[in-house]
Amino acid sequence: MAEMPFVNTDTEDEFVMNATSEMNIKKKRQTSTGREIEEGSESKKKKKKQYQPNYFISLPITNPEITGSVQAVQDAIIQQDQRLSKAMVRSGSLHVTMLVMRLSNEEEINIAAGALSDSKDFVENLLKGKTVELSFQGIDHFRNEVGFVKLAENDHRTILAEIAETMKKIFQEKGILAGEERAFKPHLTFMKLSKSTELRKEVKKIDSSLYEDFKNHYFGDEILHRLDLCSMLKKKQPNGYYYCESSIVFGEKHAAEPDDAELLSLSKRLVENAVLKAVQQYLEETQSKTRQTDGSPAKTETAASGSKNESDNDNTK
């Protein structure tokens, strides 16, 4: 699934491209039928504008093997055409889009977050404890304007499609205008001309020969472990990932590979433990010194030893 294009966003836009092509074809077929059809076209345009998605369900890509390979492709392309540096998607933003939607206010955002939460039970029942590994291999494009890494055709991709379709139904049942009529086509976008208005004026098409050496490259596997409700328009996180309203987590990867928040929490706990240990050691040392100066057992023992020495000296005399 692809996201729709917006100014200052990093969401894919191949659906708009396809939709625009279809509308242009229809317009050409309808030009001879008169004003009535033109008014219908205007109505469709208004409806499309009202729907313009601003949120999406994201499957984040976190495997360093994949992000590193994507970076290698991007670097190779930029070396050949420096202008395309403006078209590259940051590694922190890499994801697969499961579903797009239009959320108009906070109430709808909360409803969508609830729908995502409801989806968790379905995903877990579908997976039945199994690990879903999504294999990324090869590069393709949409109209030479969007470059993406392909998701291999296998049973795991089929499961992903089933998850996307069911989530679409769950969101729509809650009154959220979500999804597209087109078939689910998961992919990993790493480059698109729509990221820069200036670039689109300079470059009309991306030459596929720029990434010819990577067309069949194996990028790695991503374990399905988290789905996020993300904003297309709100300010991104420091690591480049989208603003996240809510998430669902499942599978074993989350426990084995903590995210940034978990790592921060763990770091704080380690620091707190170290501080507590240092304080405890300081208190013990302080108490020990105090006992030695106020008649503590250590001092009494020393005094007794001194008295015994004096007695022995008297006997000797």
Angle between helices 260-293 and 297-316 (to 10 degrees): 30
The domain spans of the chain are 14-251, 263-304
The hierarchical CATH code for the domain 14-251 is 3.90.1140.10
Name the nearest CA neighbour of 117 among 189, 197, 180, 174. 174
Higher pLDDT, 257 or 212: 212
Q: Which of 17, 6, 101 is nearest to 53 (CA)?
A: 101
94-138: per-residue pLDDT in tens?
Answer: 999 999 999 999 999 999 999 999 999 988 988 888 888 999 999
Beta bridge partners of 142: 146
**Tens-place pLDDT, residues 135-186:** 999 999 999 999 999 999 999 999 999 999 999 999 999 999 887 667 789 9
Decide if pLDDT at 301 tops 90. Answer: no
Q: Band of the pLDDT at 215, cuts 50, 70, 90?
A: very high
Greater confidence (268 vs 70) lies with 70
Measured N-to-C along each axis, helices 14-30 and 35-51 cross at an angle, to the nearest 10 degrees, of 170
Q: What's the whole-model pTM score?
A: 0.68
Instruction: Provide mean pLDDT across the span 88-95.
Output: 96
